Amino acid sequence: MTPMPATAAVRVRRAELSDLDDLVALEESSFATDRLSRAQYRRHLDSETAQVLVASANHRRFLGTAVVFFRKGTRVARLYSIATRAEARGKGVGSALLEAAEQTARRRRCKVLRLEVRTDNEAAISLYERLGYERIGRYKRYYGDGADAWRYEKAVA
């Protein structure tokens, strides 16, 4: 596959059922543990309490995804998962997905978007902090493999 140009215009849209194979493939290639299953993605595509987003650019249909959860009775949205294809990293795909997740949270009248990230995921931590997310806590042994997580949040209202 040819490399993606750094200046590609990234478009983000709501995922559709036709994206299911790509969602599962990216999940499996991105995460060793704590993966969303095909059934979970299928459920989230039709859910009132979840939004699955996909990013594309330069005629590449599927470069990344983000999953945002909403709970009734709270103004806090949760970025549950974000992943980009290897060739799209560092090209603005993650930033575009985060921006779209924030817009989605605002449209749902949420005030805050929260997320968890592995304490050893320096690239993601750098992205979140660059985009204004503040570290608010730590979870010991949060992930299935025993890794710790940082909790971040950003006011989006």
Contacts 24+ apart (CB under 8 A), 50-53: 50/80, 51/14, 51/101, 51/104, 52/14, 52/15, 52/19, 52/23, 53/12, 53/13, 53/14, 53/15, 53/97, 53/100, 53/101, 53/104
State which amino acid sits at residue 106: R
Closest C-alpha among 154, 86, 74 to residue 115: 154
pLDDT of residue 36: 86
Confidence band, pLDDT 50/70/90 cuts, at residue 14: very high
Q: Provide the pairing of β-strand 134-139 with 76-84.
A: unpaired
In this predicted structure, the answer to whether residue 4 has a pLDDT above a threshold of 60 is no
Write the pLDDT tens digit of every residue in 92-136: 999 999 999 999 999 999 999 999 999 999 999 999 999 999 999
* Domains of the chain and any CATH numbers: 10-112 (3.40.630.30)
Residue 2: pLDDT band with limits 50, 70, 90: very low
Assign 157 to helix, strand or coil: coil
pLDDT tens-digit readout, 37-76: 889 999 999 899 999 999 998 777 789 999 999 998 999 9
pLDDT band at residue 8, thresholds of 50, 70 and 90?
low
